[in-house]
Amino acid sequence: MAPAVLIENLQKRYGDVEAVKDISFNVEPGEIFGLLGPNGAGKTTTIRCLCTLSQPNGGKIEVSGISAIDNPRAVRRRLGYVAQEVALDKMLTGRELLQLQADLYHLPTAFAKERINKMINVLGLQEYADKKTGTYSGGLRKRLDLAAGLLHQPDVLVLDEPTVGLDIESRVVVWDFLRQIRNAGTTVLITSHYLEEIDVLADCVAIIDKGVVIASGTPSELKDKVGGDRITLRIREFSPTEEAERAKDRLQALPFVQEVIINTAQGNSLNLVVKPQNDALTNIQQSLNNAGLPIFGIAQSRPSLDDVYLAATGKTLLDAELAAAGTRDPKKEKKQNMR
């Protein structure tokens, strides 16, 4: 059986900007696949190329064995796409908007009526379906957008940051619904920069940074590769580089310490991967005290997807988000997205 989605060596440039350098991954039928990475990593560009909204500069894209580059119309019939920004006509009711979507897909009248009623029911929109969408909350607007994306029964549902701006209750509703359609056989491809969202939803995940895939596998596999427990400590609230380097050298000499990374974006904090043992914190504190190095704060935890990203890039996803926000040009991005 062909992969539900196949992307090989995808490249996309906007002028001199290389938005996607070399991205490859497979999505198997009937799974939730997560693309995780900070804003600006290339997630949305990848999705736009997959959904035939943007022409790649190189690479291969297939949906159920059909080339999205050579046969975009056939691919569109097999895809449902829910963009990050919800765009609804505020003067239409939810039911009218779904009918418009059905007409755009040329769905037979009886089938369209059945699908509209089903989507309204499974997404809990019965009370709101005949009200104008301009009165909807953010969570209701997102649910209606999901209904529109699924109306034509696509093989693959593509979601770009589906829960951005939603409260936790609305996010849980969306998560439960995605699990339901996955269990019913629909393949789901979801982009997100929310660690917990990908961790709880995705069967497999690819982590993207600066237009390339830096890690891929199941969430459990990726976290197991990090190995051991994670310990985060600060010598001071904002440590001098020399002091952090001294602490790193001291800690790397401990037999149970597997890796030490200095996180410059967070005041030269130290992130350690250690073999699980009960006295790890005590031994670390004693070693640093003997070297005359104080400890401002220390904490131990199990590995997370953020640890996977940290191990691959030397920074956390939050650090990358803040860095991207500091260098982003909104006018330039808007112009690129319109191309």
The yes-or-no verdict on residue 327 having pLDDT over 90 is no
- Domain 228-302, second-level architecture: 2-Layer Sandwich (3.30)
The vertex-139 CA angle with 129 and 147, nearest 5°, equals: 50
Give the pLDDT of residue 223: 84
The yes/no answer on whether domain 5-223 falls in CATH 3.40.50.300 is yes
Q: How far is CA 287 from CA 215, 242, 256, 263, 270, in A?
A: 33, 17, 13, 20, 14
The yes-or-no verdict on residue 275 having pLDDT over 90 is no
What confidence category does residue 326 fall into, taking pLDDT thresholds of 50, 70 and 90? low
Give the position of tokens 């369209």: 112
Calculate mean pLDDT across residues 48-65: 95
Q: Can you give 269-304 as a three-state secondary structure string?
A: EEEEEECCCCCHHHHHHHHHHHCCCCCCEEEEECCC
Among the residue ranges 34-43, 198-207, 321-330, the one predicted with the least confidence is: 321-330
CB 193 within 8 A of CB 39: yes
Amino acid at 281: L
What confidence category does residue 12 fall into, taking pLDDT thresholds of 50, 70 and 90? very high
For the segment 146-180, what is each residue's pLDDT rounded down to a tens digit? 999 999 999 999 999 888 888 888 888 889 999 99
Phi and psi at residue 101, to the nearest 5°? -60, -40
34's tokens: 């997560």
The yes-or-no verdict on residue 300 having pLDDT over 80 is yes
CB 209 within 8 A of CB 40: no
Give the pLDDT of residue 117: 95
Mean pLDDT in the chain? Answer: 89
Give the pLDDT of residue 329: 55
Helix, strand, coil in percent for the chain, rounding step 5: 40, 25, 35
Domain ranges within the chain, ordered by starting residue: 5-223, 228-302
Residues 6+ apart with CB under 8 A from 143: 123, 124, 125, 173, 174, 177
What does the DSSP assignment read for 190-203? EEES-HHHHHHH-S
Strands 187-192 vs 32-36: parallel, antiparallel or unpaired: parallel
The yes-or-no verdict on residue 330 having pLDDT over 60 is no
Give the pLDDT of residue 328: 52
Give the position of tokens 């998560």: 175
CB 220 within 8 A of CB 307: no
* Alpha-carbon gap, residue 139 to 160, rounded angstroms: 15
Give the position of tokens 């949906």: 63
Q: How far is CA 277 from CA 166, 188, 232, 297, 330, in A?
A: 39, 39, 15, 19, 48
* Alpha-carbon gap, residue 149 to 151, rounded angstroms: 6
27's tokens: 């999505």
The yes-or-no verdict on residue 32 having pLDDT over 90 is yes
